[in-house]
C-alpha cells in the first residue's frame, strides 16, 4: 500500500467514507483517492511524492492556478491582522463594489460561506419576495446540499446513486419541481400546471454537474421569457460559471439577465465563500432591511475576503486571462477530438470556455438523458489511465474539468499524449 492508500484506510475509521465531501472518495472511479500535500501552478502533489497536472482546480476556484502569489500574499497580510471579527470590514465593501462593477444586473451582494448557503439563501429570498413556495430546478443540475435542492441532483449525488437524498423531509422536497435541461416545454408545462405558485426557476446556465452540457440556443432566453410571463424569478446559479466564463459570468457571456445570481468558488480565491446577489429591491428584503432572515457568524470573514478581493481584482485588471483560458479550452478539445478520430475511441467532448467534459458515448450529449447514458465504467478506466500518467481529472463522470491560467502548452501537450495512450486501451 502506498502512503495515500494507508491514509485512506486510517481516514475511513474516522471520517465517513474517509472524506469530507463524497466525490473525493474516488468511488465512481473504483480506487483509493490521492492524499494531497501541496499544489502549485497547474500541479498538485500527493503524499507519495507524485506530481499531477490538475484539472480539478479545487472544483473551480483556482482559476489563476494553485498558490498564486497575489492571493497568497493578500492572505498572509490579512492573517497578520486577525482571523475573524464578527463585525463589518472595509474589504467586504470593496469586494461587493468590485463584483457589482464586473457583473451585470446586480446592485447588492450578501456574502455567505459556501455555494450551498448562497443558493439556499437566494431561494428563501425568492420565496419571501414573491410569496410563493414552489421552485423549478433541472434534473442533473446540482445546487449544493440544502434540503430542497437535493431532488434529482447532479454531481456526486448522482454519481453515488442518491440524486434525491435520504433524510430530506417530504415537505421540504414537495415544492421542488423538476424540469429537463434544454427542454423549454418541460418548464412551460410545470409553470402552467402550477399557476401563480412558482417563486423561482433555478438553473446552472452551463450545466456542469452532469459533465458539461451547454445551453441550447434560445434556452436561457426562453427561461427568461417564461419567468417574465409567469411572474417567477430567474436564478442563475453561477457557483461554477461566475467569473469563469467571463468577468461578468454567464449573464454577460450569454446576454441573458437573471433576477438573482449565486456565486462561490472563484470569489473566495480558494477560501470558503459564497454570495447571492441581485437588485436593490430584492436584496433589501433580506434582514436587517427586510423580513427574509439570513445570517452568518463567519460570513464576510476577513481572510476569505482578502483572498477573494485579490483574485477578483487580478481578474478585473487582467481580462486577457479569459482569452487565455478559453483558448486553452478550445485547443484541448480540438486536440482530444483529433485523437478521437485517430484512435476511433467512442468519446464525445463537450467544452464551453475553460470547462470541459468527455463522455464515453458515440452520440452528441445535449441533455441530461444523453449524459446519463454515457459509459461511466469507461470513464473510470480513462480516469485511472490518466492518473497513472500524471494527469488528475475529476474522479467522476458527472463533473467538469477546469482549466486555469497556470496551464501552459506544455501541460496541454502532456495531457494529449496521455489521452492518446489511454484512448488506445479503452
Ligand atoms: C452550480 C453549483 N452550485 C452550488 C454548489 C455548492 O457549492 P458548495 O460546494 O461550495 O457548497 C456547487 C458545488 O458544489 C455547484 O457546482
Ligand atoms: N460538483 C461539485 C461542485 O461543483 C464537486 C465538489 C464537491 O461536491 O465536493
Shared domain for 236 and 186, answered yes or no, is yes
DSSP letter assigned to residue 362: S
> What's the gap in Å between 309 CA and the centre of ligand 2?
23
- Distance CA(120)–CA(146), nearest Å, equals 6
| pLDDT score, position 218 | 98
Choose the catalytic residue: 46, 54, 175, 237.
237
DSSP letter assigned to residue 214: P
Alpha carbon nearest to ligand 2 atom 3, residue: 59
Active site residue 43: no
Shared domain for 312 and 323, answered yes or no, is no
Q: Is the CB of 209 under 6 A from ligand 2?
A: yes
| pLDDT score, position 345 | 87
What is the SS3 assignment for 184? helix
| pLDDT score, position 236 | 99
Q: Is the CB of 354 under 6 A from ligand 2?
A: no
The domain that holds 57 is classified in CATH as 3.90.1150.10
Shared domain for 103 and 231, answered yes or no, is yes
> What's the gap in Å between 56 CA and the centre of ligand 1?
14
- Alpha carbon dihedral 322, 325, 330, 332, in 10-degree steps, equals 180
- Its sign, for the CA torsion 70, 76, 77, 78, is positive
H helix intervals, 344-408:
368-372, 376-388
Shared domain for 119 and 210, answered yes or no, is yes
> What's the gap in Å between 239 CA and the centre of ligand 1?
6
Ligand nearest to the CA of 116: 1
| pLDDT score, position 128 | 98
> What's the gap in Å between 142 CA and the centre of ligand 1?
7
* 401-402, strands of its sheet edge to edge: 348-352, 355-359, 401-402
Shared domain for 385 and 268, answered yes or no, is no
- Distance CA(25)–CA(30), nearest Å, equals 9
Shared domain for 113 and 169, answered yes or no, is yes
| pLDDT score, position 158 | 87
| pLDDT score, position 426 | 87
Domain boundary among 286, 317, 348: 317
The domain that holds 184 is classified in CATH as 3.40.640.10
Alpha carbon nearest to ligand 2 atom 9, residue: 21
Atom of ligand 2 nearest to the CA of 394: 5
Alpha carbon nearest to ligand 2 atom 6, residue: 59
Active site residue 276: no
| pLDDT score, position 61 | 98
Alpha carbon nearest to ligand 1 atom 14, residue: 144
Domain boundary among 292, 317, 342: 317
- Distance CA(156)–CA(228), nearest Å, equals 33
Q: Is the CB of 238 under 6 A from ligand 1?
A: no
Q: Is the CB of 209 under 6 A from ligand 1?
A: yes
Domain count for the chain: 2
Shared domain for 75 and 139, answered yes or no, is yes
Shared domain for 77 and 206, answered yes or no, is yes
Q: Is the CB of 240 under 6 A from ligand 1?
A: yes
Nearest-5° angle of CA 391, CA 396, CA 399? 95
As for the ipTM of the complex, it is 0.99
Shared domain for 242 and 107, answered yes or no, is yes
Beta bridge partners of 207: 213
User: Can the peptide bond before residue 366 be classed as cis, meaning omega within 30 degrees of 0?
Assistant: no
Residues of the chain falling short of pLDDT 70: none
Choose the catalytic residue: 265, 328, 372, 378.
265
Atom of ligand 2 nearest to the CA of 209: 1
Beta bridge partners of 286: 292
**Over the stretch 378-405, which tens digit does the pLDDT of each residue have?**
999 999 999 999 999 999 999 999 999 9
Shared domain for 191 and 132, answered yes or no, is yes
**Mutation choice for ligand 1 from 19, 114, 144, 355, CB with most ligand atoms inside 8 A:** 144
Instruction: Write out the residue range of the structural domain in which residue 48 sits.
Output: 3-67+319-424
Shared domain for 181 and 269, answered yes or no, is yes
> What's the gap in Å between 156 CA and the centre of ligand 2?
7
Active site residue 142: yes
Shared domain for 157 and 286, answered yes or no, is yes
Domain boundary among 291, 317, 343: 317
**Over the stretch 73-114, which tens digit does the pLDDT of each residue have?**
999 999 999 999 999 999 999 999 999 999 999 999 999 999
Q: Is the CB of 153 under 6 A from ligand 2?
A: no
Atom of ligand 1 nearest to the CA of 238: 1
Amino acid at each position: 500500500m502506498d502512503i495515500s492508500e494507508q491514509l485512506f484506510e486510517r481516514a475511513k475509521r474516522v471520517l465517513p467514507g474517509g472524506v469530507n465531501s463524497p466525490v473525493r472518495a474516488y468511488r465512481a472511479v473504483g480506487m483509493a483517492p490521492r492524499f494531497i500535500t501541496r499544489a502549485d501552478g497547474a500541479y498538485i502533489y500527493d503524499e507519495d511524492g507524485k506530481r499531477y497536472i490538475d484539472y480539478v482546480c479545487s472544483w473551480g476556484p483556482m482559476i489563476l492556478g494553485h498558490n498564486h502569489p497575489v492571493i497568497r500574499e493578500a492572505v498572509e497580510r490579512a492573517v497578520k491582522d486577525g482571523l475573524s471579527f464578527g463585525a463589518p470590514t472595509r474589504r467586504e465593501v470593496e469586494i461587493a463594489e468590485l463584483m457589482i462593477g464586473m457583473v451585470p444586473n446586480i446592485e447588492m451582494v450578501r456574502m455567505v460561506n459556501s455555494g450551498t448557503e448562497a443558493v439556499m439563501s437566494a431561494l428563501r429570498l425568492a420565496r419571501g419576495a414573491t410569496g410563493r413556495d414552489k421552485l423549478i430546478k433541472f434534473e442533473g443540475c446540482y445546487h449544493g446540499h440544502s434540503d430542497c435542492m437535493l431532488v434529482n441532483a447532479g454531481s456526486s449525488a448522482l454519481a453515488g446513486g442518491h440524486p434525491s437524498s435520504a433524510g430530506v423531509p417530504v415537505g421540504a422536497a414537495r415544492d421542488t419541481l423538476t424540469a429537463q435541461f434544454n427542454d423549454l416545454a418541460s418548464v412551460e408545462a410545470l409553470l402552467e400546471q402550477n399557476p401563480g405558485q412558482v417563486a423561482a426557476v433555478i438553473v446552472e446556465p452551463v450545466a456542469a454537474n452532469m459533465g458539461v452540457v451547454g445551453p441550447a440556443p434560445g434556452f436561457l432566453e426562453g427561461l427568461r421569457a417564461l419567468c417574465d410571463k409567469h411572474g417567477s424569478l430567474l436564478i442563475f446559479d453561477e457557483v461554477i460559471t461566475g467569473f469563469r466564463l467571463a468577468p461578468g459570468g454567464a449573464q454577460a457571456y450569454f446576454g441573458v439577465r437573471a433576477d438573482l445570481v449565486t456565486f462561490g468558488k472563484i470569489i473566495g480565491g480558494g477560501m470558503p465563500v459564497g454570495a447571492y446577489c441581485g437588485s436593490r429591491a430584492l436584496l433589501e428584503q433580506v434582514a436587517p432591511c427586510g423580513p427574509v432572515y439570513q445570517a452568518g457568524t463567519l460570513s464576510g470573514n476577513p481572510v476569505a475576503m482578502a483572498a477573494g478581493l485579490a483574485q477578483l481584482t487580478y481578474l478585473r485588471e487582467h481580462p486577457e486571462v479569459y482569452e487565455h483560458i478559453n483558448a486553452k479550452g478550445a485547443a484541448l478539445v480540438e486536440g482530444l477530438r483529433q485523437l478521437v478520430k485517430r484512435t476511433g475511441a467512442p468519446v464525445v467532448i463537450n467544452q464551453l470556455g475553460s470547462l470541459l467534459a468527455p463522455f464515453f458515448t458515440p452520440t452528441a450529449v445535449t441533455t441530461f438523458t444523453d449524459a446519463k447514458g454515457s459509459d461511466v465504467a469507461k470513464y473510470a478506466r480513462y480516469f485511472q489511465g490518466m492518473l497513472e500518467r500524471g494527469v488528475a481529472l475529476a474522479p467522476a463522470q458527472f463533473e467538469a474539468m477546469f482549466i486555469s491560467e497556470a496551464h501552459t502548452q506544455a501541460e496541454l501537450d502532456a495531457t494529449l499524449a496521455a489521452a492518446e495512450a489511454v484512448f488506445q486501451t479503452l
